[in-house]
């Protein structure tokens, strides 16, 4: 018996529908004339929790960190136990297994980990399903691969999962305990290999905005008349640093110098000369089809959709067989897919009353853009429409918009390049340099599909310069000065992140790394996180109230807890450099370089280093009375079986307690433990009497139980 194991029920049902009759449905499986199809529910196995390795690890204690499993364990998810039993029984009956996980690293691991967990030794083949329409599935069935070919993908995903466990589990405990010692009662600080640097991007951006001081600068635009043609044109003065003080960005910030220049330019002589004239024909190919991140970013900017909304919508379109696999990090297509172009374009051309219809009718199905490149394809390809006709009226507004973006990007591959002339001119006048540039369109090509109104630009000056209208001229031509105008601009603070732009920042993480060597290396790496997880990471930071999302665009601002967490952590955890390098290594592992063991050894060393740093981490106080014994923790009021009492937040390292008197700790009669060096502890709370250190103090059983419950309670 051949057994197909899909990643999820929808894929399993679509796969079974393409296998020969007869069909017979069971509980969690479908028997066909071509074999049995079953499915998982995503991860039916999970990483074991620390307490499942050792019960004592259920209590969060500094002395137990870092937790480094010698042998990694997986546990069957309770919610998937029934289906796991079905899959297990079918594997035992099978002669051959076909791995039908999603065509990416995570999908590879999902099925492989089940096979490994059950000790499977039967032959395994791999089917790569990039879309759920019948044609795509039949094509995939005709191209089964040896599952061993995808071992690097599995290793990379396995290394990622275990690294996330090592960093998240250990550092979350270490820094939560540090926060408790500082008086932040009940505060939990979740730390993640990707999550924390992502949060830090928002925190640092907000501080840039808070500390930003606007500066005024000046622009001087002159009008010249070309002597031969008599036509006028504008050119912008490019002051030299030798003559005029400029800021580090090369901007003129001295108003007196600007006005003096303006006045001097009006004097004789009025003649100027064209010292450079460059006119080049240029072509721009159509933008590539979408990866998930690219789709999320554009949909966020155009429609204000959150990344998770885009993923969910793309997933629904995929399950409706209208588009290909959504969790793709690829922007290219296999050459073999090009044969489907006439069918897809024909379906789009038949849409009544849609812009897509007009664009598709003008498309040339024989044209092959740069998007078709087998060398750029691994397990999956860019998101595109399938051969299944779409009824736009049956889609929701969001589904229509997302489908429209996907379809437009696909149609663009069959339109000509955008062709234009780029002109650059330099004018010398009064010994000073003026410059202008312009663009003259020759053929709109694919760009005609993207003219939906004036696009927003973050660089208005550049746009002004490049939109100049220039007469035909050549180097050496004479020109005459006509007039000039002085305008002022103010520097602007950086924009706050939205979910869409933060996701873009995660993908383009090289822009935020500090190390120049790492920046160069990571320029072409797909950032931190995965296509499938970036949206959920941002959503989780909002859900946990580390980020606030305000307004229609969901502008992100950090909460007080976000500042506290990022400030407490060392740069190695908050800057993306290390995480980005790790992502690069994971990417290389997926290509067959390196092993999980080598990678995880580095992650374990990192966890050790940061757990040690947590012991001396400075976390802003959460209130409370400074502990007179250790000086590091604070006295916090607790409810005990016999009434209220006060205990040090650094328990169990510090076991100082005090009775409660009128809502304050009463140190009268209390013995203050000596510090580790033998000296008395820090000065007590100002309102309390100064006690005498007389050796160690042991809390009562009730007090210790209460402190245990506070810090390590179930």
The candidate with the shortest Cα–Cα distance to 236, out of 604, 485, 469, 536, is: 485
Side by side, which strands form the sheet with 24-26?
24-26, 29-32, 35-39, 2-6, 96-100, 124-126, 145-146
Token pair for 200: 């830090």
Give the per-residue SS3 of 383-397: ECECCCCCCHHHCCH
Residue written as tokens 């709370």?
685
Pair type for strands 124-126 and 96-100: parallel
Q: What are phi and psi of 161, to 5 degrees?
A: -60, -45
* Neighbour-count burial for 562-595, b at 16+ CB within 10 Å, e otherwise: bbbbbebbeeebbbbbbbbbbbbbbbebbeeebe
Cα 565 → chain centroid: 19
Helix (H, G, I), strand (E, B) or coil at 404: helix
The candidate with the shortest Cα–Cα distance to 122, out of 207, 1, 226, 39, is: 1
Tell me how long the chain is: 714
Active site residue ranges: 325
Contact assessment for residue 633 and residue 682, using Cβ atoms and an 8 Å cutoff: no
Token pair for 20: 């020969």
Alpha carbon distance 169, 192 (integer Å): 8
Alpha carbon distance 105, 151 (integer Å): 10
Pair type for strands 74-76 and 45-47: antiparallel
What residues have CB less than 8 Å from 229, skipping those under 6 apart? Answer: 471, 472, 473
Eight-state DSSP code of residue 183: T
Helix (H, G, I), strand (E, B) or coil at 182: coil
Residue 382's Cβ-side half-sphere holds a number of Cα atoms within 13 Å equal to 28
Q: Tally Cβ neighbours within 10 Å of residue 298.
A: 19
The H-assigned helical ranges of 212-340 are 255-265, 292-303, 307-319
User: How many angstroms separate the Cα of 655 from the Cα of each of 181, 273, 634?
Assistant: 12, 84, 11
Cα 378 → chain centroid: 21
Alpha carbon distance 515, 509 (integer Å): 12
Pair type for strands 35-39 and 643-648: unpaired
The candidate with the shortest Cα–Cα distance to 32, out of 117, 98, 125, is: 98
Positions of E strands within 121-201: 124-126, 145-146
- Partnered with residue 661 across adjacent β-strands are 664
Token pair for 472: 């035909």
- Partnered with residue 658 across adjacent β-strands are 646
**Burial (0-12, 13-18, 19+ Cβ within 10 Å), 679:** exposed
Alpha carbon distance 438, 397 (integer Å): 39
CA 373, 376, 377, 381 torsion-angle sign: negative
């Amino acid at each position: 018996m051949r057994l197909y194991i899909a990643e999820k029920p929808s894929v399993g049902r679509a796969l079974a529908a393409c296998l020969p009759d007869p069909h017979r449905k069971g509980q969690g499986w479908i028997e066909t004339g071509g074999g049995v199809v079953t499915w998982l529910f995503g991860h039916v196995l999970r990483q074991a929790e620390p307490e499942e390795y050792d019960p004592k690890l259920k209590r969060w204690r500094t002395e137990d960190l870092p937790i480094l499993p010698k042998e990694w364990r997986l546990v069957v998810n309770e919610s998937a136990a029934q289906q796991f039993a079905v899959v297990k029984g079918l594997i035992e009956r099978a002669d051959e297994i076909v791995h039908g996980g999603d065509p990416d690293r995570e999908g590879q691991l999902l099925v492989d980990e089940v096979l490994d967990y059950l000790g499977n030794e039967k032959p395994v083949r791999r089917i790569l399903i990039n879309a759920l329409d019948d044609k795509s599935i039949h094509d995939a069935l005709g191209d089964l691969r040896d599952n061993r070919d995808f071992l690097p993908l599995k290793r990379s995903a396995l290394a990622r999962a275990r690294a996330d466990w090592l960093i998240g589990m250990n550092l979350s405990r270490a820094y939560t305990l540090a926060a408790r010692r500082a008086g932040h009662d009940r505060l939990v600080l979740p730390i993640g290999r990707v999550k924390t640097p992502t949060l830090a991007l928002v925190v640092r951006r907000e501080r840039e905005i808070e500390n930003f001081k606007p500066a005024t600068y000046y622009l001087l635009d002159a009008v010249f008349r070309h002597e031969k043609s008599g036509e006028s044109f504008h050119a912008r003065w490019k002051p030299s640093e030798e003559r005029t003080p400029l800021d580090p960005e090369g901007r003129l910030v001295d108003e007196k110098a600007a006005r003096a220049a303006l006045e001097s330019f009006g004097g004789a002589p009025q003649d100027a000369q064209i010292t450079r004239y460059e006119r080049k024909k240029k072509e721009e190919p159509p933008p590539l089809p979408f990866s998930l991140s690219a789709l999320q970013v554009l949909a966020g900017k155009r429609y204000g959709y959150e990344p998770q909304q885009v993923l969910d919508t793309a997933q629904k379109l995929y399950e409706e067989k209208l588009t290909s696999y959504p969790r793709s990090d690829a922007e290219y297509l296999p050459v073999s897919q090009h044969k489907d172009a006439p069918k897809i374009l024909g379906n789009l051309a038949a849409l009544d009353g849609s812009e897509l219809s007009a664009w598709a009718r003008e498309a040339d199905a024989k044209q092959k853009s740069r998007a078709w490149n087998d060398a750029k394809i691994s397990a999956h390809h860019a998101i595109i429409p399938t051969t299944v006709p779409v009824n736009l009226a049956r889609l929701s507004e969001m589904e229509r918009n997302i489908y429209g973006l996907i379809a437009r990007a696909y149609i663009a591959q069959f339109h000509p390049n955008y062709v234009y002339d780029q002109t650059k001119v330099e004018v010398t006048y009064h010994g000073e340099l003026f410059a202008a540039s312009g663009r003259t369109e020759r053929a709109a090509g694919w760009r005609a599909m993207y003219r939906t109104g004036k696009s927003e630009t973050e660089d208005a000056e550049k746009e002004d310069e490049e939109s100049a209208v220039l007469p035909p001229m050549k180097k050496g031509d004479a020109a005459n000065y006509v007039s000039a105008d002085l305008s002022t601009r103010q520097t602007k603070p950086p924009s706050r992140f939205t979910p869409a732009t933060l996701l873009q920042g995660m993908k383009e993480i090289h822009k935020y790394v500090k190390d120049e060597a790492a920046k160069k290396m990571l320029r072409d790496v797909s950032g931190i996180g995965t296509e499938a997880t970036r949206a959920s990471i941002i959503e989780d930071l909002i859900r946990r109230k580390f980020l606030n999302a305000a307004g229609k665009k969901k502008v992100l601002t950090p909460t007080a807890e976000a500042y506290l967490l990022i400030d407490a952590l060392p740069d190695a955890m908050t800057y993306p450099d290390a995480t980005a390098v790790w992502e690069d290594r994971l990417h290389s592992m997926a290509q067959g370089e390196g092993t999980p063991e080598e990678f995880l050894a580095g992650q374990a060393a990192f966890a050790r280093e940061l757990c040690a740093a947590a012991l001396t981490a400075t976390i802003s106080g959460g209130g409370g009375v400074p502990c007179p014994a250790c000086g590091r923790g604070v006295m916090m009021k607790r409810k005990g079986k016999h009434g209220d009492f006060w205990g040090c937040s650094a328990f169990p390292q510090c076991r100082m307690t005090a009775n409660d008197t009128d809502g304050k700790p009463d140190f009268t009669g209390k013995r203050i433990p000596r510090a580790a060096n033998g000296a008395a502890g820090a000065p007590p709370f100002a309102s309390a009497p100064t006690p005498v250190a007389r050796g160690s103090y042991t809390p009562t059983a009730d007090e210790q139980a209460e402190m245990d419950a506070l810090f390590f309670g179930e």
